[in-house]
């Protein structure tokens, strides 16, 4: 029903030539959706088609719920990362922050006994403060250094530090949270979808429609020009790293809620997939280009590939390699297309 009404709206826009908003809406649609998404959407469609042909269970609601459940944390993380990448930096710490946040959340709930909503809030604050620290460090050193250098170094250090920290607080043992029923609510499908939607809308709004977003692109495009044009470059960087930290912490909360256990290894190394989602989704690693939607699509592609390899029964030993090949094909198609548009 929901789908039907959306389709209705789309139809009205596309086919009703008298609609005065049609052109505006179309151009907005183009700007938000079409541009960054075409090549990858094609890949997604092909994968879906092939998987569906091999294993009809692919098209069941349960399967799509399963796909969704496991990519939301990655999507959220990737959206946060997209801000940092667009601003011309990099955040390698998001995986470790997610891992540490999961442990912190469990610690607050289980060992200290703080109510769940407050614990979640404090956990997000934890992610925020790490992110702000990164932002401050980068701001102090750049300029004169190119942004990527201090960004890489400090977030690498954080990656190592918080990865270790997550292991160390419980000496590697997980914290079990099964008795805290309310926590499981976070990972029910409607709430997950709500989280995704809110984060996505907020991210897209900031990037495409707000002043802050314009500043983020300017800083990533050319930081000297941004500075001479009066852009508050340090505030911008505090914001992007802080946002990325919060998103990472949120991903940690989602992961913990999904498993109702805080396992210190969860999320470690996820930054690679977060960055890859962005790269696949057309966010330029050189800064200044791309958008959060690309990050979502990219992480969706990655999640879909995983699911489809399981469903088509590819040997687990070859799953990684096949993932590599599919990603390569998707990426090459997309780059080639963008090459022609340029």
Q: Which of 82, 158, 203, 257 binds its own copies (CB under 8 A)?
A: 158
Answer yes or no whether residue 229 interacts with other proteins by CB under 8 A: yes
CB 238 within 8 A of CB 132: yes
User: Which segment (38-46, 75-83, 174-182, 332-340) binds its own copies by CB under 8 A?
Assistant: 332-340
Does the footprint of its own copies cover residue 325 (CB under 8 A)? yes
Site string for its own copies, 281-310 (x = CB under 8 A): ---xxx------------------------
Among 21, 121, 145, 173, binds other proteins (CB under 8 A): 173
Radius of gyration over alpha carbons of the chain, in Å? 21
Is residue 17 at the binding interface for its own copies, with CB under 8 A as the rule? no
Give dist(CA 13, CA 182) in Å, integer.
42
139 binds, among its own copies, other proteins, none (CB under 5 to 8 A by kind): none
317 binds its own copies (CB under 8 A): yes
- Calpha distance 122→297 (Å, rounded): 30
**Which residues neighbour 118 within 8 Å (Cβ) at sequence distance 6 or greater?**
108
* Binding partner at 191 among its own copies, other proteins, none, C-beta below 5 to 8 Å by kind: none
**Which tokens is 76 given?**
């959220």
From the list other proteins, its own copies, none, partner contacted by residue 182 (C-beta under 5 to 8 A by kind) = none
8 binding other proteins? (CB under 8 A)? no
Distance CA 207, CA 216 (A): 8
- Give the burial class of 38: count Cβ atoms within 10 A of its Cβ; 0-12 exposed, 13-18 middle, 19 or more buried: middle
In this chain, which of 32, 125, 148, 184 binds other proteins, going by CB under 8 A? 184
Give yes or no for residue 1 binding its own copies (CB under 8 A): no
Contacts of 240 (CB under 8 A, 6+ apart): 83, 84, 86, 87, 89, 135, 216
Q: Is residue 302 within 8 Å of 276, Cβ to Cβ? A: yes
Helix (H) or strand (E) holding 262: strand 261-262
Count other C-beta atoms under 10 Å from residue 111's C-beta.
Answer: 11
Comparing CB distances to other proteins, the nearer of 148 and 259 is 259
Residue 322 partner contact from other proteins, its own copies, none using kind-dependent CB cut-offs of 5 to 8 Å: its own copies
Give SS3 for 229: coil
- Work out which of 6, 8, 21, 57 binds other proteins, going by CB under 8 A: 57
Q: Which residues would be at the binding site for its own copies (CB under 8 A)?
A: 141, 144-150, 152-154, 156-165, 167-168, 171-172, 269, 272, 275-276, 279-280, 284-286, 315, 317-325, 327-328, 331, 335, 338-339, 342
């Amino acid at each position: 029903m929901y789908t039907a009404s959306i389709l209705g709206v789309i139809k009205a826009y596309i086919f009703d030539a008298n609609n005065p908003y049609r052109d505006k809406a179309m151009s907005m649609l183009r700007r938000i959706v079409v541009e960054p998404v075409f090549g990858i959407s094609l890949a997604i469609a092909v994968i879906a088609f092939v998987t569906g042909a091999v294993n009809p269970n692919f098209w069941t609601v349960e399967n799509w719920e399963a796909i969704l459940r496991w990519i939301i944390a990655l999507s959220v993380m990737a959206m946060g990362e997209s801000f940092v990448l667009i601003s011309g930096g990099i955040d390698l710490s998001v995986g470790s922050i997610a891992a540490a946040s999961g442990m912190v959340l469990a610690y607050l709930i289980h060992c200290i006994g703080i109510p769940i909503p407050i614990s979640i809030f404090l956990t997000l604050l934890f992610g925020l403060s790490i992110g702000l620290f990164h932002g401050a460090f980068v701001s102090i050193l750049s300029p004169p250094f190119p942004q990527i250098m201090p960004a890489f170094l400090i977030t690498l250090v954080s990656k190592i530090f918080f990865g270790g920290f997550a292991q160390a607080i419980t000496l590697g043992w997980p914290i079990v949270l099964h008795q805290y029923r309310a926590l499981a609510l976070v990972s029910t499908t409607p709430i997950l979808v709500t989280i995704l939607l809110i984060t996505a809308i907020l991210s897209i709004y900031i990037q495409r429609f707000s002043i802050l977003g314009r500043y983020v692109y300017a800083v990533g495009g050319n930081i000297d020009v941004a500075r001479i044009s009066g852009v508050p470059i340090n505030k911008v960087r505090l914001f992007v790293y802080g946002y990325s930290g919060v998103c990472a912490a949120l991903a940690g909360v989602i992961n913990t809620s999904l498993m109702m256990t805080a396992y210190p290894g969860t999320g470690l190394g996820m930054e690679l997939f977060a960055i890859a989602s962005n790269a696949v989704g057309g966010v330029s690693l050189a800064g200044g280009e791309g958008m959060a939607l690309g990050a979502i699509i990219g992480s969706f592609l990655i999640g879909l590939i995983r699911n489809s390899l399981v469903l088509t029964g590819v040997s687990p030993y070859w799953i990684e390699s096949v993932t590599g090949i599919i990603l390569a094909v998707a990426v090459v198609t997309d780059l080639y297309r963008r090459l022609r548009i340029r």
